[in-house]
Structure 1
Amino acid sequence: MSKYLFFLCILIGSIKSFAQTKPAGTPVQILANWMLHDNKTYTITENKFKVIEKDTVVNESITYEVSIEVSDSTTTSYTVEWTYDNFQVNSNDISLNQLSYILKGLSIEFKTDELGIFERLSNYEEIQEFLNDNLYTIRDQFDDQESYVKFKTRIEKEYLVQNNFETKVIRDILQFHQFHGTEFYDDETYFGEIQVPNMYGGEPFDSDVTFWLEDNDYSKGVFEVKMQEIINSQQLTRATYDFLKNNYSGIEEITPENADNFPTLTKAIFTTASVNASGWVIQSVQTSETRANKTSRIEVRKIELNN
């Protein structure tokens, strides 16, 4: 995961914009300028929609708070701790409620460089122990042993395998730090290609990116930045087909035997963030839309600083 973000930082620092000459004026750089024990509290809301043509057929949401503290600071790095609490779930999926129980109180500690670019988790063993303990305590909330085993297997696969945890679970942390280390000029649009994590655990996907400084208020030290990512459709389609084929074999309505009959998937991710001069995010909204035929799956994650 850190490899992807490091590559993104190199890309943004070196890629050419549409302009052919060096832009005039003073650049805006998004970087962490934090002190030891600086802390903030954020509310994070995740909404998921399934839309067939113009009809929304699935709509679920989860809201939670995260307390962020800079627990260590050096000239070359920060250690940051995120602690999760106050989950509220609106969904018919009972497993989401159980998930909120085992995540309550979870603390994730990670390192960034001096700019605030995410580098690595630093307490994954403690995370594993915490989740295993909570998995054991909620077993009585299930109607039967089979339901519990099914839920436990899912959590072990997604949360207790470090690579999957970094790909699927800490997306809010990666979104928070997405623009740290970047440098922008007014009225300049930057574009290029990067590799992004494969949610199925295989080779990363190629992605075309476009990013720019939407607005800035130098007097208040607030900057609004935006990025659009278009995932390679062929790679996404093949990886999705292979995943379904390997995990749902024999179910024709899910995965046809012939890959040529599998629908082509497209995925676009759009992120807009307001960040202050000290590197604290004021608000970040990321919208991901995956389309296949007439069906869209839309996920919106909003990170908002509490007053």
Structure 2
Amino acid sequence: MKNKIAIILVLLLSIKTYGQISLKDSTVQVIGYWSKLDKQSYDISFEKLKIKNKDTIARELIKYEVDLKVIDSTPNSYTTEWHYKNFEIDTDNKLVKKLTSISNDISVLIKTDEFGSFMEVINWQNVRDYLNEVSEKLKTELKHIPNSAQIIENVMKIYSSKKSIEANAIKDAIQFYNFHGVKYKLGEEISGDLKVSNNFGGKPFDTKVKFSLDEINAEDGNSIIRMKQVVNSKQLTNETYNYLKKIGTFGKNIPKLKNFPSLTNETYTASRIHGETGWVIYSIETKEVKAENTTNIEERIIEIK
């Protein structure tokens, strides 16, 4: 994500710190005009669907709340606190319920630049230590569930380092700050290349990205901005194949790579953002991963209260 911001800023942007919505030239600059102790609360939902031959064969829905507070403000940065609470998980999988709920009542400190673009997680070590402590208790509590200890270990890898936390554990925050620090013009498309994290542990994936300003709502003082992100299909397919081969998913019947189904990964994000303050009003992100006749969909919605 840092790479994305750097690439777009260098290639395409000229940022100024005044007037985010300009009707004169149909442009919008997304900048966080925040002060210390400013706060907003959000409802967030995250739904996962698995569709095979047009039939939904699996579904999980997680709902939770976030209290977002600006705890420090300098001329060059903001420090924001994301406090997670009130998790509700709709799934029959007891292990998933327990693993999801471990984030309840945790606070993550995120630093942005002066425009509101994501920079880093500040208290990642505290987050890691707290979740590791909780996960050890879960191993004992859920030891009757087959392979639960190994599954918990695999999930906890997401929280093992600063890099992995920023890439995988705060996707709602990355979505929130995704459009900040950029100037957009109505009817024009910003496109570029970036690297996205590889959850299999290999090199980051090459990714094509496009941004567009879809709407300026002058009366209500907000705008809608969209993004499309497409991961390199060949790299994704190769990495997935090698990972499944490594962990023994194929058993003795290992197919040749040329016979392995091609994978695609596309993400679509749209956010309505308040012009004067830079607070996100509503944001929806949909990721679709497809292979032959199976589609995995993840959809996250962030809505201001």
Gaps of 5+ in 2: 15-23
Q: CA deviation at 1:124?
A: 1.0
Name the structure 2 match of 1:20.
none
Q: CA deviation at 1:160?
A: 2.3
Q: CA deviation at 1:199?
A: 2.5
Name the structure 2 match of 1:113.
113
CA contact (8 A) 2:282 2:304 kept: yes
Name the structure 2 match of 1:17.
none
TM-score by length of 2: 0.90
Taking a change above 3 Å as real, the CA distance of residues 65 and 57 of structure 1, as seen in their structure-2 partners, is: same
- Paired with 2:63 and 2:29, the residues of 1 have a C-alpha distance of 30
Name the structure 1 match of 2:40.
40
The residue correspondences of 1:9-24 to structure 2 (distance < 5 A) are 9-13=9-13
Q: Secondary structure at the match of 2:13?
A: helix
Taking a change above 3 Å as real, the CA distance of residues 217 and 127 of structure 1, as seen in their structure-2 partners, is: same
Name the structure 1 match of 2:20.
none
CA contact (8 A) 2:51 2:295 kept: yes
Taking a change above 3 Å as real, the CA distance of residues 59 and 126 of structure 1, as seen in their structure-2 partners, is: same
- Paired with 1:288 and 1:205, the residues of 2 have a C-alpha distance of 15
Q: Secondary structure at the match of 2:102?
A: helix
Q: CA deviation at 1:221?
A: 1.4
Name the structure 2 match of 1:191.
191
Name the structure 2 match of 1:287.
286
Q: In percent, how many aligned pairs have the same letter? A: 33
Amino acid at match of 1:208: K
Gaps of 5+ in 1: 15-23
- Paired with 1:115 and 1:46, the residues of 2 have a C-alpha distance of 27
Name the structure 1 match of 2:158.
158
Q: CA deviation at 1:145?
A: 8.0
User: 1:143-182, CA deviations, whole angstroms, 9 ceiling, x for partnerless residues?
Assistant: 5386552243123322223332222111111100100011
Q: CA deviation at 1:250?
A: 4.5
Q: Secondary structure at the match of 1:43?
A: strand
User: 1:226-255, CA deviations, whole angstroms, 9 ceiling, x for partnerless residues?
Assistant: 1111211111111111121222355367xx
Do structure 1's residue 122 and structure 2's residue 126 form an aligned pair?
no
- Paired with 1:262 and 1:137, the residues of 2 have a C-alpha distance of 39
Name the structure 2 match of 1:228.
228
Match for residue 266 of structure 1 among 242, 264, 279: 264
Q: CA deviation at 1:207?
A: 1.6
The residue correspondences of 1:191-210 to structure 2 (distance < 5 A) are 191-210=191-210
CA contact (8 A) 2:120 2:166 kept: no
Amino acid at match of 2:265: K
Amino acid at match of 1:117: S
Taking a change above 3 Å as real, the CA distance of residues 63 and 252 of structure 1, as seen in their structure-2 partners, is: farther
- Paired with 1:96 and 1:145, the residues of 2 have a C-alpha distance of 12
CA contact (8 A) 1:289 1:297 kept: yes
CA contact (8 A) 1:191 1:211 kept: yes
Amino acid at match of 2:258: D
For these two proteins, the number of residue pairs brought into alignment is 296
Taking a change above 3 Å as real, the CA distance of residues 12 and 298 of structure 1, as seen in their structure-2 partners, is: farther
User: 1:24-61, CA deviations, whole angstroms, 9 ceiling, x for partnerless residues?
Assistant: 71521011100101111111111111111211111111
Do structure 1's residue 296 and structure 2's residue 295 form an aligned pair?
yes
Name the structure 1 match of 2:18.
none
CA contact (8 A) 1:193 1:209 kept: yes
CA contact (8 A) 1:189 1:210 kept: yes
Name the structure 2 match of 1:211.
211
CA contact (8 A) 1:6 1:117 kept: no
Name the structure 2 match of 1:75.
75
Q: Secondary structure at the match of 1:103?
A: coil
Q: CA deviation at 1:133?
A: 2.6
The residue correspondences of 1:133-172 to structure 2 (distance < 5 A) are 133-144=133-144, 147-172=147-172
Name the structure 2 match of 1:179.
179
After TM superposition, the structure 1 stretch with the greater mean CA deviation from structure 2, 130-139 or 170-179, is: 130-139
RMSD: 2.1
Find runs of 4+ consecutive structure 1 residues off by over 4 angstroms. Answer: 145-148
Name the structure 2 match of 1:238.
238
- Paired with 1:239 and 1:142, the residues of 2 have a C-alpha distance of 31
Name the structure 1 match of 2:55.
55
Amino acid at match of 1:266: T
- Paired with 1:249 and 1:296, the residues of 2 have a C-alpha distance of 19
